[in-house]
Structure 1
Amino acid sequence: MTAYTHALNRRLSRRLAVVAAITAGGLLLAACGGNDMEGMDHGSGSSASASPTQATSENPAPGAFNDTDVMFAQMMIPHHEQALEMSKLADSRASDAEIKTLAEEIEKAQDPEIQTMRSWLKAWGKPESAEESMPGMDHGSGMSGMMSDEGMKKLEAAKGTEFDRMFAEMMIEHHKGAITMAEDERKKGRNATAKKLAADVVKTQSAEVEKFEKILDRL
């Protein structure tokens, strides 16, 4: 694995650890609130709720937003970045034509989504990384669906059918993690644009999971 790949994985882990901690804190507050929290807008704390914004060419995600919307973008950006890193390996390592096609489709879909979510955060006045909001936190935990450094190293070392099988298995797990985050955004998010992208993620990646599972059945 290249030094760049190691650095990227460490950066992704730090970002996701902070987001996981923030999410855990939100769940704890909700649990402590009991029935008194019912009906409250998720992420309605002082830093989360925003007044409705006017639709302009400079605001790609107009309207009110909450903490869930912000965390969705901050989590999904590094999640997509790792999927792109995995997919780029398929060009020189995969032997199965369908694996290569799916890897190309993932790159075409997720790279533009990364740019879109970055534009939301900029318009909302929020940092791309949750780590920037909470410096000094423990970054040791990970997130569902993200591959470890060891897993990425094994994928990079594999070729042919071994790579095809490993890529399919890892991408299924990775996609399921993204689907979980997107479902949470659909349920708890407030911004219509963010919820629409979340719905697209669920639809697209669920279909890709089915394709990968069929590939595994024949490999």
Structure 2
Amino acid sequence: MFTGIIESLGEVSHLEKEGGNLHITIASPVAKELQIDQSMAHNGVCLTVVSLDENEYTVTAIEETLQKTNLGGLKLRDTVNLERAMILGSRLDGHIVQGHVDQTGTCTSVEEKDGSWMFSFEYDVSLNNPTIEKGSITIDGVSLTVVDSGTNTFSVAIIPYTYENTRFHSYEVGSKVNLEFDVIGKYVAKLLHWGSHGTNDE
């Protein structure tokens, strides 16, 4: 379980394909604090640490993860948003994030405001993942509040700290991002979907 508050940025230092899997090595200051088998969120994707040294660690993404997230497009020296799993009993500064990406989205506009930025995204609405104005959304692991919500679009406002300390400063129109929708909203949407189709007791 995660909170969507990014701890640091990591840099991809090595990529190795093995069958359908991709071993991803990340250089990061947090590497020295990790242990084998710990969970880490990478652009919002929960992966397990499989090896490490003082300044780097490695995780493995399976084929399904590579197909459903933006991790399959990683290149050497790319930056990655990092967050360790939350500690039970700590303050939940963001919102409940599972680290299970629902789908990807695409940045459609970046608008600089007076001291902040407005980012807009679109996504495939056929997967039945809703956004709600003032509800929560996780973009590449960053916990955010939806400002405007359309049928298959939404926007978020980004403060300077988030812009500078996450991957947001590198986004441009066309950038592919991982989306995890609000877990409560997803369950409500599924209940409404089931209810609208009725039940079959026969």
TM tier relative to shorter chain: under 0.3
Higher helix share: 1
| Greater per-residue strand proportion | 2
Q: Which has the higher contact order (CA 8 A, sep 6+)?
A: 1
Q: How does the TM-score come out when normalised to structure 2?
A: 0.25
